[in-house]
Structure 1
């Protein structure tokens, strides 16, 4: 089976896709699958490409627009004629490549949160024509991979004709070190700095309600928003901004934080939350993070996306006994086992095999 993964951006600027697509592709290759990765590269990609390991990479420069179309890439996809072309993300040139995939190639599309109503409602004047030209024709022939039941429902609402061609499989995560840190303390926000993540609102609410728990904000984002976050943290008493973290520094932050918090308005399925759970952080999430199983298993604490209950949530965190913290941390690590990449990759390959057994659309 020859699989080609396409993502518009292959560097860190892709946010969660940087980790989710690379983790899936590497895990598939480890299972013996013929995997190639294609997509756009930005300035500084040489510092980011290590996440793809030894996978063959086909890249093209993105340019200023970062839209991602490359006629040379389209020709290369046609030449390769993979058995499966897996498109990650939409509303970009990825949908063009999926729309004009070679005959005989089965197309799998992972919207990765981009069919969430919050996302679809933004810039309708642009998304409407783009969808008519590319997304809808692509999805008319494709199978859709949803990260959660919520995403599957959103996809069906967007395009009812997808019925019978949707399967659900979560993101995966690499196993964290089994070693326990000497001490955990404070809370951590880690991820992209973007308005949908409500980082500025989190800082304001933390400053207003926290009595003694410190918050670390780690991440990267658009220049203006990141500057606002950094500036606001400078004047806050219990909050510090540490910028983007990767590698060992990221693992250290996740393994020493007691709580992980993500007050998001819109997600596919957040990689940072899965990594936090794998490291034993106690997650505090909104319903929009689409991890209801973590609430059902009493692993995560839930907060309202409008921060209306934040005072009570924060009081709960600060009043939590050491015994409960230890218990919840262990429960988080246990829950993470169902998201490990080898199992997720095997399940994805099983879906590919099922799709390949069907006549091409």
Structure 2
């Protein structure tokens, strides 16, 4: 989309989500970036989320964007909060944008839509992918019956990060009119032009990230003597404990825990490759962060960023240990000139189709149209 960006100045847009902290994984990262983008467009973003043990600790990451955290009554996995309605009514938003599904915020968003008739945007963030819908079937069946199907049907628009996600949305909801807008690449300092043979995983510690296969592949790969694998992230205590046990038996691999801000920028800029052999993704922010820093990527097709393969800023590593090992062997021994070309291409993607201004223009047009037609 070209031309002048439609104005949404002064409009109050509430971003509703289950977790605004590190526990929200990539969804929380996307919400932080989206809130800043909305602010940059002159609108008034407010993030409304369920509180958790890291909510206050991670509040500074939202900067000058208001963050309202509400308490949970009952099981966390459902996320009921009687405060959602009161907050939404007090905020009186012009539009609500729900990030993530399967929990009570979906019901709160649907109820608000029915009360006010104002626009509701739903971004599933990959949560309708088959790998996700196959897990926790009973809980998801109840959620579908009680509120999700109605929400998907009555939303002003369903948002897909990729064409693949649009197909998942159509399969689950019957809606074939999803707005496809990618996450924007963040502004990151470009990394060094010469980098050690270090592979970096950055993100949530979760079974879908396939870190066991990554470590098995790392052990099998034919690597330079100085090669190392760094895993940075956060997750449920049981998943982190399992990872720590596995890393302890893998030479030249280390788990460094969560990293943010300048520490994250430095780590991404030091890596020769980001590696993400996921079994299921929406559109992973870690890859966009890597490209913004000029870091090529080793990723599975399930990361839903075929642009990386086409442009040769990424290599398909598959999801099984043997294919991951083969690609690690190739990547960590790649000639410097070839790596530099991949790095330049990665930066080009971050500054082109995934550039913040490009994505912001698409969101401004969609939001403006929905609010004009409300």
TM-score class, shorter-chain normalisation, is over 0.9
The corresponding residue for 1:269 is: 283
2:90 matched to 1:76?
A: no
Preserved CA contact (<8 Å) 2:216 2:321: no
Report the CA distance between 1:340 and its aligned residue: 3.0
Preserved CA contact (<8 Å) 1:184 1:255: no
Distance 1:167 1:85 in 2: 16
Change (3 A) 1:202 1:311: closer
The corresponding residue for 2:297 is: 283
The corresponding residue for 1:343 is: 358
- 1:271-328 Cα deviation digits (max 9, x unpaired): 1111111111110010100001111111110022233423431231133101111111
- Does 50-59 or 110-119 show the bigger shift? 50-59
Q: TM-score, normalised by structure 2?
A: 0.91
Distance 1:209 1:107 in 2: 48
Report the CA distance between 1:233 and its aligned residue: 1.4
The corresponding residue for 2:3 is: none
Distance 1:289 1:269 in 2: 6
- Does 42-51 or 128-137 show the bigger shift? 42-51
Aligned-partner SS, 1:255: helix
2:135 matched to 1:85?
A: no
Preserved CA contact (<8 Å) 1:28 1:346: no
2:120 matched to 1:110?
A: no
- 1:151-178 Cα deviation digits (max 9, x unpaired): 0010001111x233x1001111321114
Aligned-partner SS, 1:45: coil
Preserved CA contact (<8 Å) 1:19 1:51: no
Distance 2:88 2:277 in 1: 39
Aligned-partner SS, 2:362: helix
1:313 to 315, 322, 327: 327
2:179 matched to 1:163?
A: no
The 5-angstrom pairing of residues 210-221 of structure 1 reads: 210-212=222-224, 213-221=227-235
Cα RMSD of the aligned pairs, angstroms, is 1.7
Residue segments in structure 2 that go unaligned for 5+ positions in a row: 1-10
Report the CA distance between 1:62 and its aligned residue: 3.5
The 5-angstrom pairing of residues 178-189 of structure 1 reads: 178=190, 180=192, 183-189=195-201
Report the CA distance between 1:200 and its aligned residue: 1.6
Aligned-partner SS, 2:234: strand
Distance 2:111 2:366 in 1: 22
Aligned length: 357
Q: TM-score, normalised by structure 1?
A: 0.94
The corresponding residue for 1:354 is: 369
Change (3 A) 1:279 1:178: closer
Distance 1:52 1:317 in 2: 36
2:47 matched to 1:28?
A: no
Distance 1:223 1:57 in 2: 26
The corresponding residue for 2:213 is: 201
Preserved CA contact (<8 Å) 2:217 2:323: no
Preserved CA contact (<8 Å) 1:24 1:341: no
Distance 2:130 2:68 in 1: 32
The corresponding residue for 1:136 is: 149
Distance 2:161 2:109 in 1: 19
Change (3 A) 1:293 1:349: same
Distance 1:316 1:290 in 2: 22
2:162 matched to 1:152?
A: no
The 5-angstrom pairing of residues 116-127 of structure 1 reads: 116-127=129-140
Distance 1:258 1:5 in 2: 35
Report the CA distance between 1:87 and its aligned residue: 0.3
Report the CA distance between 1:242 and its aligned residue: 1.1
Aligned-partner SS, 1:35: strand
Distance 1:268 1:262 in 2: 13
The corresponding residue for 1:56 is: 66
The 5-angstrom pairing of residues 190-269 of structure 1 reads: 190-212=202-224, 213-269=227-283
Preserved CA contact (<8 Å) 2:181 2:359: yes
Distance 1:279 1:265 in 2: 24
Which runs of structure 1 show a deviation greater than 4 angstroms over 4 or more consecutive aligned residues?
none
- 1:158-208 Cα deviation digits (max 9, x unpaired): 111x233x1001111321114636644311111111110011221122112
Distance 2:211 2:358 in 1: 33
